[in-house]
Amino acid sequence: MHSGVWHELAEGLAERFTLHLVDLPGHGQSDWQEGQFELPLLLSELEQKLPDNAVWLGWSLGGLICLAMQQRYPKKVRKLSLMATTPKFVGCETWPCAMAPSVFESFASNLHVDQQQTLQRFLMLQAKGAVQSREIIRELSEQLATQHTPQPEALRQGLALLLQTDMRDALSQATCPLQLILGERDTLIPASMPDYAKKLNPALDVTMIDGVGHAPFIAQPQRCQELIELFIDG
């Protein structure tokens, strides 16, 4: 997804703050070049383009990237707000509060067969479980259509990042204030995850929004704006 998905929340936050919206490589208005989704290169480019001492907000994969940014370039990140994010999306013996690897591997495999159908499945997964699931799918689909279709290799490498990235150390070692906003009906992040996350960093400020899936800022933009502003002002 491109940064246009933030439009309603961004309009509210822009009344008080200067926003820097980022399209990841191969998405939205960001060009694609091979290797751009390698995390060290991605972080280096963000470090050069974005201001120091800023509040960072990241959704899903974007949250993982924000955690990595805080770990590598701590002077860039004054506060960190994570939206529907977990430090590790794929489960293992020491992190059972996550999805099975097969879920993401299936998406990666299907991208080679039918990218458009796989994207639709992905959008449905974002909204699954939410009270307003149809409205959220429609909003995401409309936003996706406003820009060119994401580059297939960008999608594959994004999925690879989700599969491979483990930011538990980054979360446990973070010294800046941390906020985590989750949807109570998120099918990608088990409800037990916040308990595990707070063991890594007891200072983590967690809010669970009822009736919401993996896209809280689309389902309840005003509530998310209130939470983010309280966090920034605190």
Q: Give catalytic residue positions.
A: 60, 186, 214
In DSSP notation, 33-69 reads -TTTTSHHHHHHHHHHHS-SSEEEEEETHHHHHHHHH
Identity of the amino acid at 171: L
Q: Which residues contact 44 (CB under 8 A, 6 or more apart)?
A: none
Identity of the amino acid at 202: P
SS3 78: strand
Phi/psi for 105 (5° steps) reads: -65, -35
Helices (H), the chain: 7-13, 39-49, 61-72, 101-113, 115-127, 133-145, 152-164, 168-173, 193-200, 216-219, 221-233
Under a CB-based contact definition with an 8 Å cutoff, are residues 66 and 78 in contact? no
Under a CB-based contact definition with an 8 Å cutoff, are residues 82 and 58 in contact? yes
